[in-house]
């Protein structure tokens, strides 16, 4: 699953670069192949990616339902800007981009508390230019990170990433 989660960003960027195309194929640096479709009405992207670890599916867009692992919730009154869900076997990964009127410190502290309650050991915390980045992993393989950055209106934009290992 780690390989597939590492592909989320490059594949999402590749799909964004596809311009007006609504379907096609893509190939990653290591020979991974994928097929994608983009719904013109909703902007939602779906993709199937094949690697040496198997086949994964990706679904991304502003209206993709958010289904977080136990113990995690969307920050109260936050707006989900985008949600990307990757599934491979029994494992899954979620990248939720959200916007809220609270500071990056408040948003990061909210998710750090949820992560610790879910058994995540915090392995990294960093603060730079008003942004907060926190990450860690639980003994059962739940990976967690939050990157909260200040926005232009005095609130913050957050990127919450959660991954679970498959069998």
pLDDT digits (tens, 9 = 90+) for 14-50: 444 455 567 777 777 777 777 778 777 777 888 887 7
62: left (phi over 0), alpha (psi -120 to 50) or beta: alpha
Backbone phi, psi, residue 13, to 5°: -65, -40
- For 88, other C-beta atoms within 10 Å of its C-beta total 22
Complete edge-to-edge strand list for the sheet that includes strand 131-138: 23-27, 33-38, 45-51, 54-61, 79-88, 91-100, 156-164, 143-150, 131-138, 120-128
pLDDT the model gives residue 1: 40
> 23-32, 59-68, 121-130, 149-158: which range is least confident on average?
23-32
pLDDT the model gives residue 41: 78
What pTM does this model have?
0.80
Q: Is the dihedral of CA 76, 142, 96, 93 positive or negative?
A: negative
pLDDT the model gives residue 34: 77
Domain boundaries, the chain: 2-164
Do the Cβ atoms of 7 and 93 come closer than 8 Å? no
Return the DSSP state at 5. Answer: H
pLDDT the model gives residue 12: 52
């Amino acid at each position: 699953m780690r390989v597939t989660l590492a592909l989320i960003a490059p594949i999402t960027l590749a799909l964004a670069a596809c311009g007006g195309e609504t379907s096609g194929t893509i190939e990653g640096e290591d020979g991974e192949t994928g097929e994608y479709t983009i719904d013109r009405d909703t902007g939602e992207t779906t993709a199937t990616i094949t690697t040496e670890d198997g086949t994964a599916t990706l679904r991304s867009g502003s209206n993709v339902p958010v289904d977080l692992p136990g113990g995690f919730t969307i920050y109260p009154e936050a707006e989900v800007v985008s949600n990307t869900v990757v599934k491979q076997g029994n494992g899954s990964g979620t990248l939720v981009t959200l916007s809220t009127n609270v500071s990056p410190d408040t948003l990061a502290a909210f998710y750090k508390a949820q992560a610790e309650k879910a058994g995540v050991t915090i392995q990294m915390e960093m603060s730079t230019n008003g942004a907060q980045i926190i990450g860690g992993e639980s003994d059962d393989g739940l990976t967690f990170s939050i990157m909260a950055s200040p926005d232009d209106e005095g609130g913050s934009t957050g990127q919450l990433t959660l991954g679970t290992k498959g069998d």
